[in-house]
Structure 1
Amino acid sequence: MSDFQAVADRVEIEALRGEFTDAAMMCDYDRIASLFTPDGVLRMPNVPVELAGRDQIRAWRERREALVALFVQTTHPGTIRLDGDTASGRAYLQELIRLRDGSSHLNYAIYHDRYRRTGEGWKFTERVYEVRYLDHSPLAGSAPPAAGDTR
């Protein structure tokens, strides 16, 4: 593999990870599902949830919407190890979550990823969410009111 191809692959994988974060923040599970291979798996053992295939990943939206009132995820670059048309990597993240039951979460976590080059570009074959730090202290802040909201 040429140095140029390796750089291009890393940029594309980093863009894939960025798309995932943006889609998660926007609660766009159609887009999240499209970032996985058809047989891709999203595992969240701490939740606990395992979503196999695009249909299950897409369907997670309804459950998440029912549980989560506020969600902010910031993902930071990690590692990428290329191996031809497959790769593995890690990304590091911080999340602020307020559930509809009033409980709060401040998480620091890692995504453990596996990727595959497809005809549509790099896709996740597996993404495993591992919480490394969890704080249940009530979040002091809140989302600002929507524009025009007079509350």
Structure 2
Amino acid sequence: MPPLEPPTDPAAQLQWLVDRAAISDLLVDFARALDDQDWNAYAANYAEDGVLDIAPTISHRGRSGLADFVAASLGRYAGTHHLSSNHAITIDGDRATARSYLLAAHVFDAEQPHRHADGAGWYLCRLRRTVQGWRFTHVTLEIRYVAGEPLLH
């Protein structure tokens, strides 16, 4: 389905721009929270019924427990570095979709930062406007390649 065209009415255009900026900020905060190991802030980016799918087999449903779920995986690394770019956002009222590119490095040991596992792909996201602002209702991570050392499982 092609993306919806931006509105032509000036007031609607302004809202469209504000919504796009808010969604892009959410995608950036999503990465920041992972790299800061701020698991609660990461989970707060999701709606209460939000879903995280790491294709093809890893999944978590609901905001409850999401912080612990992500911490159990990424908390094993000394640090991570997630880059989020190419935010392709489509807004349809109080619903939206976004596709953002991902490049991530996972450092095993802070004393040996040359040892890392890298991955790249994109996040396919569905979002909903809530009273707290835009929140993810479904995030699917599609990994396109991995490099360096193997990721921890």
TM-score bucket of the superposed structures, by smaller chain: 0.7 to 0.9
Pairs within 5 Å for 1:77-116 = 77-99=86-108, 104-116=116-128
Letter in 1 for 2:134: W
1:143 is matched with: none
Number of residue pairs matched? 136
CA distance in 1, matches of 2:21, 2:64: 27
1:53, CA displacement in angstroms? 1.0
2:4 is matched with: none
2:79 is the counterpart of 1:70: yes
2:130 is matched with: 118
Letter in 2 for 1:90: R
CA distance 1:17–1:65, change in 2 (3 Å): closer
CA distance 1:84–1:99, change in 2 (3 Å): same
Q: Which runs of 5+ in 1 are unaligned?
A: 139-151
What's the RMSD between the two structures over aligned residues?
2.2
CA distance 1:37–1:136, change in 2 (3 Å): same
Q: Which runs of 5+ in 2 are unaligned?
A: 1-6
2:120 is the counterpart of 1:132: no
Letter in 2 for 1:128: T
Percent identity between matched residues is 27
